[in-house]
Chain A
Amino acid sequence: MPSDADHHVAAPAAVEARHVVHAYGDVVALDDVSLRVPAGGSVALVGESGSGKTTLLRCFNRMVDPQHGSITVAGNDVKSQPVEALRRSIGYVQQDGGLLPHWTVQRNVELVPRLRGAGDAAVNAAGDALDLVGLPRAKYATRYPHELSGGQRQRVALARALAARPSLILLDEPFGALDAISRADLHEAFEAARAATGVTTLLVTHDLAEAARLCKELVVMRAGRIEQQGTIQDLNDSPATPYVTNLLDRALAGLERLKGLRSEARA
């Protein structure tokens, strides 16, 4: 059995969902959903609450086991290996970070490498990850989560997700709880980390602007179904449904007044 202590940087994985169906009691969360993300690609799942985007995301690390359909990561069905091994090769960031409050930043970030049996190599892996997200280890390693700001905590959560150099990273509204300025800072940190690692990315967000900025493609979801998958340009130029058009219209509406300021200033 291949050792869990994989010290090589994992190659980014292509992921696929095929005809996935999942219901919570009477409520259908995913209604025949199919999706493909190439290795190294980045896809944002956008939609309102209840659209099924979070449920779909959580299928990839088996936090949800769909009732029908298949999920594959790097060509392998997610059920073909022990669930812990699967999860240790996939990074995960929650909206509230989910840092362990009784552990230091260093220990939090070391979690996955240690679970994989890296031993002392985990220390450096964690340090590298902290550097990657813009939290110099010398300053932050020994701090506790409650001593950090919201933005700093999310950076630590991101570092923790990347510490074992996973082939795939899942983010569930990771910046939703932050103020606009911290969010902008985190966007920069995230882009830098992605550029450095090239990891396949699945990001759930309700913020279209964030989706467009951080990811190559968007997947618009509504009531458990995919409305359209494509670049933001595709969504704009050839919207598949009126819902997609509506979505873009609403996102742009807020920005119109601000855009007007810039053109006025130039005038």
Chain B
Amino acid sequence: MLLALAGAQWGRASAQSRSNTRPIVVGSKPFGESYLLCEMFAQLLEAHGIAVKRLPGLGATEVAFGAIRSGAVDVYPEYTGTGLVAILHDSLPDSLAHDARTVFAHVADVTAQRYGARWLPPLGFENTYAIAVRRQTAEHEHIRTLSDLARASSHLTGGLTPDFIGRPDGLAGLRRVYGIDPRDVRPLAPALKYQALATGAVDFVDGYSTDGLLSKYDLVVLVDDRHFFPPYQAAALVGPSVARDRPDVIATLMLLSGRLDETSMRSLNRRVEVDRENVSVVAADELQRLGLSARRTISGQSAGRASDGFTKYLWAERATIARLTARHLELVAAALIAAVLVAVPVGLLLERARASSGTILGTLGVLETVPSIALLAFMIPLLGVGVIPALVALWLYALYPIARGTFVGVRDADPSAVEAAEALGATTWQRLYLVRLPLAAPGIMSGIRTAAVITVGAATLAAFIGAGGLGEPIVAGLALADTRLVLSGALPAAALALVVDGVLALVERAVRPAGKSA
């Protein structure tokens, strides 16, 4: 069903792109400034009459840029340094590596050549890594620069984002260039870093220079005395088809180039991360202040404040939650139906070919052991990001319980009744639909119910690869350390699982053949 929908959307999209009316997909990575810039891009485009679809919270640089390449996302905010090191896996000779303009020109050139994607002129500010320690640590250990940190690092613990740990311009680079070798390294979600630092759980963190939380705690940002980090100028990164076919989009987005600076970004980030204001409100305010939009756009959300009670917040967000729940349900239903269509016949076939059933069921079972996020990530190089890879991953997940339920249900279905039907002249097909399937129905339904509940849960992870659904607020909430946001996705998801299970229980009762003893 959703595949048909996606197929129809595909057709409509290609028709629209010819007529320049398809919505522009704006993405973001899961941290505050990225959500903010995404929202600013989106509202700016909407103010100029261009339809927009938001796909925030894409798990990592690979996911976001992968989406640009596959066309699932049209634009997202990126940084030149990240472009150089993490996307192009490139480097520049030292003499050139620190000049922001050189780096931008180089990155823009190579990206356009290699991928057809276009870097729009920088937004006007830099957001570089700000390795930070508590003021007490700085004074006690006499640490002012990263070289100083290297000296003291053997008895310090680092709390670093997984992104930083994995990147060549991250931990590995610090080790190589400065000799920083911490006693322990703990991966932390971006929004939890500063709290962990402040409470003493870790001794230094990879902050971002425009983070709103930097000013909240008494921290010292260490000087990059060996100039290890490349420049990280923020800019809009646009995908090849928009770069080629939508000059209107390019022109609109370029209105923002050069208009932002570190000070204003820091205060905007403060409003989102510290004051817990709604991202779209903060974005709207800034656009208005810059004179780039006529009036304050609310984009369908009321200005919920952090001081609101949780229930009031849920009620205020009910339209969004309803939309996300509908999308979530669509994903689950499509994956489940597709899984039933394949897994039930597979279960029936396995029952006939008992010898190989063990191996095949075992293989399907292995799929269950793969963590769902890994399975979703595995889809990206194959199918890109968005609805299709999410559906494929969810479909794979649902196969095993249904196939197994069918197999066991049919295998155990009263063998003497099946034999009697055969002896009295029923054909193989007649035995199947008159006897075996009705008697196996409870077992099959049980498998489907299990699969359904698993799928509702796994579908929350679909948000990481841009498929939408109730995972979106969960991902955003985790990124922003906003428990309320997390719950606004998690609670409806849990409720959905219960409802789905309840409905299927009714179906199971209806399908249960009469006359069987309890």
Contact = CB atoms under 8 A, between A and B. Distances in A.
Interface of A: 61, 63, 84-88, 92, 94, 96-104, 111-112, 115-116, 144-146, 157, 160-161
B420 interface: yes
B424 A111 contact: yes
Contacts of A112: 424-425
Interface string B497-518: 0000000000000000111110
Contacts of A61: 423
A157 B421 CA distance: 12
Interface string B400-439: 0000000000000010110111111111001000110011
Contacts of A104: 515
B516 A101 contact: yes
Contact of B424 (A101, A115, A145): A115
Given A94-B416, A144-B514, A100 B435 contact: yes
A95 B333 CA distance: 46
Nearest to B415: A98
Given A92-B424, A100-B434, A102-B439, 14 more contacts: A84-B426, A85-B425, A87-B424, A88-B425, A92-B420, A94-B416, A94-B420, A97-B420, A98-B417, A100-B420, A102-B516, A111-B424, A115-B430, A161-B424
A250 to B, nearest CB: 30
A98 B439 CA distance: 14
A87 B515 contact: no
A102 B427 CA distance: 19
A63 B434 CA distance: 19
Given A104-B515, A115-B430, A146-B517, A99 B420 contact: yes
A84 B427 contact: yes
Nearest to A161: B424
Contacts of A144: 514-515
A256 B184 CA distance: 92
Contacts of B421: 98, 100, 111
B424 A103 contact: no
Interface pairs A-B: 3 shortest CB-CB:
A98-B420, A102-B513, A88-B425
A115 B419 contact: no
Contacts of A161: 424
Contacts of B517: 101, 146
A156 to B, nearest CB: 11
A103 B416 contact: no
Nearest to B424: A112
Contacts of B515: 101-104, 144-146
Most central of A63, A85, A94, A102 by chain B CB within 10 Å: A102
Contacts of A100: 414, 417, 420-421, 434-435
A112 B426 CA distance: 8
Contacts of A102: 438-439, 513-516
A5 to B, nearest CB: 13
Most central of B423, B424, B516 by chain A CB within 10 Å: B424
Contacts of A63: 422-423
A99 B516 CA distance: 12
B423 A92 contact: yes
B428 to A, nearest CB: 10
A73 to B, nearest CB: 14
Interface string B427-457: 1001000110011000000000000000000
B417 A160 contact: no
Interface residues of B, number: 22
Nearest to A95: B416
Contact of A101 (B425, B426, B427, B439): B439
Contacts of B427: 84
B417 to A, nearest CB: 5
Nearest to A87: B425
A87 B423 contact: yes
B249 to A, nearest CB: 62
A102 B511 CA distance: 11
19 contacts: A61-B423, A86-B425, A87-B422, A87-B423, A87-B425, A88-B424, A92-B423, A96-B416, A98-B417, A98-B421, A98-B423, A100-B414, A100-B417, A102-B515, A102-B516, A115-B424, A115-B425, A115-B426, A146-B515
B514 A98 contact: no
A92 B416 CA distance: 13
B425 A84 contact: yes
A87 B423 CA distance: 6
Interface in B469-502: none
Most central of B423, B430, B434, B439 by chain A CB within 10 Å: B423
A92 B417 CA distance: 12
A96 B425 CA distance: 18
Nearest to B417: A100
Interface in B204-233: none
A99 B425 contact: no
B329 to A, nearest CB: 32
A142 B488 CA distance: 53
A92 B434 CA distance: 18
A97 B419 CA distance: 10
A226 B96 CA distance: 102
B419 A94 contact: yes
B278 to A, nearest CB: 57
A112 B421 CA distance: 9
Contacts of B434: 100
A152 B178 CA distance: 90
A115 B514 CA distance: 21
Nearest to B427: A84
Contacts of B425: 84-88, 112, 115-116
A190 B204 CA distance: 92
B95 to A, nearest CB: 83
A100 B427 CA distance: 16
A201 B414 CA distance: 27
Most central of B416, B420, B427 by chain A CB within 10 Å: B420
A66 B424 CA distance: 19
A42 B422 CA distance: 24
A111 B424 CA distance: 8
Nearest to B515: A144
A144 B518 CA distance: 13
